Amino acid sequence: MDMKQIIAGRIADAAAACFEGCGLCAKDVAGMLEIPPEKKMGDYALPCFRMSKTLHKAPQMIAASLAERCAGEEIDHVEVVGGYLNVFVARGCMARGLIEAVLSQPGRWGASDIGKGKTVCLDYSSINIAKRFHIGHLSTTMIGHSLKRIYDFNGYTTVGINHLGDWGTQFGKMICAYKKWGNREDVERGGVQAMVDLYVRFHQEAERDPALEDEGRAWFKKIEDGDPEALEIFSWFKEVTLKDTQRVYDMLGVTFDSYAGESFYNDKMQPVVDELREKNLLTKSQGAEVVMLDDYGMPPAIVLRSDGATLYITRDLAAAYYRHNTYHFDKCLYVVAYQQNLHFRQLFKIIELMGNDWYKGMEHVSFGMVSYEGRALSTREGYIVYLEDLLNKAVEKAREIIEEKSPNLPNKDEVARQVGVGAVVYFDLHNDRNKDIDFRWERALNFDGETGPYVQYTHARCCSVLRKAPDLSDVEPDYGVLCDDEACSVLLLISRFPEIVRKAMDANEPSMITRHTTSLAQAYNKYYFEHRIMEEGDPAGTLARLNLTRAVADVIRTGLYLIGVEAPERM
Ligand code: ARG
C-alpha cells in the first residue's frame, strides 16, 4: 500500500470528473506529486502549473476544481494555496493498510520486480594488486556493494565485478626486487606490506643504480611473454593480496561475482584495436595510436603507446565489450572516484563512436575524496589510514562503549563488530556521494545524531519493546490510536520508503536511503518518548502501537541492509 499512489488515484479520478478527456492517469499524477517542505502545507502537494498549459486554465482554478472533487477515506482534507493542491492524509486510516502491508512480507517493504529480466554490471572496489587497502577504497567498495543490494531488491540480475588492477610495469619491478632481496616466508608472513616494502626498496636502490630499471622492465616483459617463473611469482603476489584484502571484505560483508581484472583482458584487446582501426578511429600521433576526441571537448585517448604497449583505457575497452557480450547488461556501472571522470567520458564516447548503442547503459558513478580527522591522505607524506586498522579501531571503540553502557549484553564481540563496522559504513554512505568526506571519530561513533549506532540503537530499542510485549494474538488491533502527529510522521516515512529506494536506485545514490532511514529512526524515537506503547487495559491500542513498532523495526532493518549495515537486536 503506497499512500502516494492512492492519493494520485484519487486526484486522477477527480481530474477525469472535472476535465473530461484530459487523459491524466494516476501514474502521471504520481509523477507530479511533491512532498512539501513543511507539514502545514500538507503531506503531498500537486503543482498545477504544467497542467495549466494543456487545460488552458489558470493553475489556481485547476487546483480549486480538483479540490472540490477530490475525496476518499484516505484524504482528511485538501487546501488550495497558489497553484498547488495540498493534500492532508487521513490519520489513522493510513495506519492499518500500511502496517499490514509491511508486516505481510518481512524484509520486503520497498522491494519490486521492475528490474526483472534486466542485468546490471557493477564494477566496484577494483583494488590494485600489491597495494594495501586504505580508506580511500571504502567508498567504491561500499557504494558498489549497496547499489548491488538495491538493484537486487528491485529484481535486477546483478554482477559484482572486482576489476583488479593487476597489470603494469610496477609488477616487473616488484618481481625484480623480490628476486634480489625478498624471500617467500617474509612475503607470506608480511602480506601486502612486505610487497610494498620491496617496491619501495626497489626505487631507493634504483636511484643509485639506474640499471635496475631495465631489469624491472625485463621482468615485466617476461610476464607479458608468459615466462613460467615470472607468471608463478606474479600470480602468487595476487593471491597474497587477495587473501589480505579478503579479511576486510569479510568484515564488511562484501562479495563479488567476478574478479576479472586488467590482466584478464590481455588476449582480448586485439579485436577491439582492430575494430577501432577498421572504423578509422585510430590516428597516429608521435608514434602512438590515439582516438581523437577534440570534437567532444576531450583530449585524445591513447590506445597504443609507441612501443605497442596497451593502456588502462585499452583494457577498459576490452572489458566493456566482454561484459556486454557475456552478461548482455542493461546497465554497466563504474563506481570510481571522480578523478577518473575524463577516463570514463572518453571510454563511453569511444564505445559510442564504434557504433554501439549499448554505451547508453554505461555510467560512471563517481564519488568524492576521504580525508581523516581534517587532513588529506597522502602516500607521499606517509599519511595513510589502512581500512583494516580503521575498522579494527572502530570495533574496539564500540566495544568500550558497550562495556560501559550495557555490560551484561550477551555476545558483546559480535555486537561490537556490527556497531563498529556499521558506524564506518554508515558514515561513508551518509552524504551525497560526490561530496568529499572528512572521517571523524566523534561523529561516526556518536550514539546520538545522524550516525549508524543511533539508527542501530533505535532498531534494537524496537526489538526490546517487542520482546517485552504480552501475548495479544487473539486481539484485534485498533489502528485509530495512531492518529497523533508523531505516529503520522512515522507512518508517512514508512509509506515513502519504497519511493526513496527507487529514487536512490535511479540516481545510484545510496545516501538517500541512509538519510530516510535515519529520519524514520528519529521519528520513531519521538513517538516513543511521547507515547506509552503498552497501556494497561487497552490491548487493542497496545497491539496497534506494537505493530507500528514491528513495522518500524522491519523497515529500519531493510534500510540498513540496503546500505550494507547490520542491525543487531540487542545493543
Ligand atoms: N584499479 C583502479 C584504481 O584503483 C580502478 C579501476 C576501476 N574500474 C575500471 N574498470 N576502470 O584506480
Domains annotated on the chain, with CATH: 3-89 (3.30.1360.70), 168-255 (no CATH), 387-562 (1.10.730.10)
Alpha helices in 41-112 (DSSP H): 49-55, 59-69, 93-104
Give the list of residues 6+ apart from residue 517 with CB closer than 8 angstroms, or none.
455, 555, 556, 559, 560, 563
| Helix%, strand%, coil% for the chain, nearest 5 | 60, 10, 30
pLDDT of 1: 56
Give the list of residues 6+ apart from residue 518 with CB closer than 8 angstroms, or none.
430, 450, 454, 455
The pick from 340, 343, 351, 363 for probing ligand 1's pocket by mutation, whose C-beta has the most ligand atoms within 8 angstroms, reads 340
Q: Is 128 in the pocket of ligand 1 (CB under 6 A)?
A: yes
Side-chain-facing half-sphere of 504: CA atoms under 13 Å: 34
| 316 Cα: distance to centroid of ligand 1 (angstroms) | 9
228 pLDDT band (50/70/90 cuts)? very high
| 519 Cα: distance to centroid of ligand 1 (angstroms) | 34
Q: Is 123 in the pocket of ligand 1 (CB under 6 A)?
A: yes
Distance between alpha carbon 64 and the CA centroid of its chain, in Å?
Answer: 42
Residues 430 and 515: beta-carbon distance below 8 Å: yes
Q: Could you tell me how many helices (H) and strands (E) the chain has, helices first? A: 20, 13
Q: Is 316 in the pocket of ligand 1 (CB under 6 A)?
A: yes
Q: Is 260 in the pocket of ligand 1 (CB under 6 A)?
A: no
Q: Quick: pLDDT tens for 176-187.
A: 999 999 999 999
Mean pLDDT value across the chain: 94
d(CA 410, CA 570): 8
CB atoms within 10 A of CB 471: 6
| 340 Cα: distance to centroid of ligand 1 (angstroms) | 9
d(CA 137, CA 34): 36
Sign, CA dihedral 148-149-150-153, equals: positive
CB atoms within 10 A of CB 417: 20
Pairing assessment for the beta strands 44-47 and 75-81 based on DSSP bridges = unpaired
Q: Is 324 in the pocket of ligand 1 (CB under 6 A)?
A: no
Helix H, strand E, coil C: the string for 301-312 is EEEECCCCCECH
pLDDT of 129: 93
Q: Is 168 in the pocket of ligand 1 (CB under 6 A)?
A: no
Dihedrals phi, psi of 290, to nearest 5 degrees: -130, 160
| 172 Cα: distance to centroid of ligand 1 (angstroms) | 20
498 pLDDT band (50/70/90 cuts)? very high
Residues 324 and 356: beta-carbon distance below 8 Å: yes
pLDDT of 156: 98
Alpha helices in 481-538 (DSSP H): 485-506, 511-530
Q: Is 165 in the pocket of ligand 1 (CB under 6 A)?
A: yes
pLDDT of 154: 98
pLDDT of 5: 87
pLDDT of 403 above 70: yes
Q: What percent of the chain shows pLDDT beyond 90?
A: 87
Average pLDDT over residues 181-207: 93
| 241 Cα: distance to centroid of ligand 1 (angstroms) | 16
Dihedrals phi, psi of 484, to nearest 5 degrees: -80, 170
Q: Quick: pLDDT tens for 57-69.
A: 999 999 999 999 9
Sign, CA dihedral 459-463-469-471, equals: positive
Atom of ligand 1 nearest to the CA of 312: 11
Atom of ligand 1 nearest to the CA of 128: 1
Average pLDDT over residues 158-162: 98
pLDDT of 104: 96
pLDDT of 91 above 80: no
pLDDT of 224: 87
Distance between alpha carbon 458 and the CA centroid of its chain, in Å?
Answer: 22
| DSSP annotation of 254 | -
Q: Is 126 in the pocket of ligand 1 (CB under 6 A)?
A: yes
Atom of ligand 1 nearest to the CA of 137: 4
pLDDT of 270: 96
Higher pLDDT, 460 or 51: 460
Atom of ligand 1 nearest to the CA of 334: 8
| 270 Cα: distance to centroid of ligand 1 (angstroms) | 21
Atom of ligand 1 nearest to the CA of 127: 1
Q: Quick: pLDDT tens for 507-560.
A: 999 999 999 999 999 999 999 999 999 999 999 999 999 999 999 999 999 999
Amino acid letter for position 238: K
Q: Is 336 in the pocket of ligand 1 (CB under 6 A)?
A: yes
pLDDT of 215: 95
| 163 Cα: distance to centroid of ligand 1 (angstroms) | 7
Edge-to-edge order in the sheet of strand 331-335: 157-161, 119-123, 331-335, 362-365
| 166 Cα: distance to centroid of ligand 1 (angstroms) | 10
